[in-house]
Amino acid sequence: MDKFLTRSSSIPNLVNKRPREDGTSSDQWQQPKRFFTNSKETSKDREIPTNNRYRDLPVDDQTSEFYLKATKKKEVNNTPPIIIELLGDCTHQKIKDLILKHIKDFHMQYKGRNIVRVQCYSAKNHQLVKDCLLKENVAFHTFTRKDEKSPKAVIKGLPKSVHDTLPTELASIGFPECIVSEIKTLHPTEYPPVLVQLPRGTDMTKFKQIKYVMNCVVEIQRYKPNKKLGTQCFRCQGFGHASRNCNRPVRCVKCTLAHPTWECPKKENDGPARCCNCQDNHPANYAQCQARLQYIERIQSKRETLRKAVIPEITNPKINLPGMSWAKVASSGKKDQTRPRPVTPVDVAKKTLLRNTAFSQHDTNTSDPVAKTSQDFETSEMLEILTVIKSIKTEFAKCKTFMDKVILILTHLGHYV
């Protein structure tokens, strides 16, 4: 037994194992040591040498400063004009002196007889001119600025009986100071839509998220006026502006006198109304008034002109060359190198059938019954060939290999060859 050496087990003996030098326990988790380190240290701030072949040229400071200056964007003037009507003692010099007392930057443009257009360049100046003209009682009209416009919405689905309490209900859910008015419909209904004018600065997206009002399911949409019908002023009965921005002389809708409509002494039984625009026997707000129809035609033609100026019409050139194709026209008279379409068996069969039919019609008075029988046989044979070719056409697409196509052709046309 001494000549054999004892061999230790491959399993380490924890009793005879040498303790660790760092004194840590073997039960604790330990991160393994890294034995390999990269000897090549890279520097993050290492500079890469570059070569500039233009470094010897002098630098033009004036040119660089010129191109470094930013170009100022041209501001667009969105301020609406003020249309003044020169009536009575209101003259050009009086209007000019009146405006110069408040602002200096403006211009005037005459538009027709006794009509002058005043253009300001800021919302503040526009409001100053508007206030001074109102104070002096000058006949004019203008348009609403963007900062003056209030968002409008239409609420659908509410009964007519709750329209009076709708402003209070909207104020309770976070939208106070709303102006509510009922929209007239063509046919009377118990659930007419409601026009709601919201205060300035109201978040329209948040307002449209309302789903229930007074426990009723509602539908809220942004108000979109019908621009095709135009606008008519309730104060002067003129077209193209609203009474909110009008200071022209007051005219009645039922007669031609200069007084408000609610003060008109004319009754319904006193005879037909009189239009102050066209002097015809109808109210001034009549839809078929000649003055209104001319106004609508004028604005539609103006919109069409603007649309054509922005988006010009593109028309295709009409070229009518008999016997010429687009390929021949594009080649400028060069020799056409396109190969003709190959003649198929269907084409040959069609030509033969047409020729035989023509011969049979030409020889209707023939007295030879044998020739007539042979012609009928050829015609029926060609029709049979066409029928077979038509069936082959549908089955030919289903063939996967070339051999299948050959077998298909020989199966149908083998006895004709």
pLDDT at 217: 92
- Round to whole Å and give the CA distance between 386 and 351: 12
> What does the mean pLDDT of the chain come to?
78
pLDDT at 370: 46
- Round to whole Å and give the CA distance between 308 and 368: 75
pLDDT at 305: 85
Q: Higher confidence at residue 207 or residue 382?
A: 207
Give the residues across from 154 on adjacent strands.
195, 221
Same structural domain, 132 and 193: no
For 53-84, write each residue's pLDDT tens digit. 888 887 765 555 655 565 666 666 789 999 99
Among 117, 140, 116, which residue's Cα sits nearest to residue 130?
Answer: 140
Q: What is the dihedral of CA 407, 410, 411, 417, to 10 degrees?
A: 180
Q: Higher confidence at residue 374 or residue 52?
A: 52
Same structural domain, 275 and 292: yes
Same structural domain, 136 and 158: no
Is residue 114 assigned to a domain?
A: yes
For 151-164, write each residue's pLDDT tens digit. 999 999 999 888 88
pLDDT at 1: 47
Boundary of a domain, candidates 284, 311, 338: 311
For residue 219, pLDDT beyond 90: yes
Q: Model's pTM, two decimal places?
A: 0.54
Same structural domain, 126 and 168: no
For 238-290, write each residue's pLDDT tens digit. 999 999 999 999 999 999 889 999 998 888 777 888 999 999 999 999 989 99
Same structural domain, 181 and 217: yes
Fill in the amino acid letter for 417. V
**pLDDT-wise least confident of 109-123, 179-193, 299-313, 374-388:** 374-388
Predicted confidence band of residue 336 (pLDDT cuts 50, 70, 90): very low
- Name the residue range of residue 235's domain: 231-311
Is residue 36 assigned to a domain?
A: no
For residue 122, pLDDT beyond 50: yes
Structural domain count, the chain = 4
pLDDT at 337: 47
Is residue 336 assigned to a domain?
A: no
Is residue 7 assigned to a domain?
A: no
Boundary of a domain, candidates 262, 283, 311: 311
pLDDT at 106: 92
- Round to whole Å and give the CA distance between 47 and 52: 15
CATH number of the domain where residue 218 is located: 3.30.70
Helix axis angle, 369-396 to 402-413, nearest 10°: 160
- Round to whole Å and give the CA distance between 292 and 285: 9
Same structural domain, 210 and 277: no
- Round to whole Å and give the CA distance between 103 and 18: 100
pLDDT at 377: 61
Opening angle at CA 354, ends 350 and 360, nearest 5: 145
Is residue 116 assigned to a domain?
A: yes
pLDDT at 353: 59
For residue 413, pLDDT beyond 60: yes
**pLDDT-wise least confident of 6-15, 270-279, 352-361:** 6-15
- Round to whole Å and give the CA distance between 84 and 220: 39
Residue 289 dihedral angles phi and psi, to the nearest 5°: -65, 140
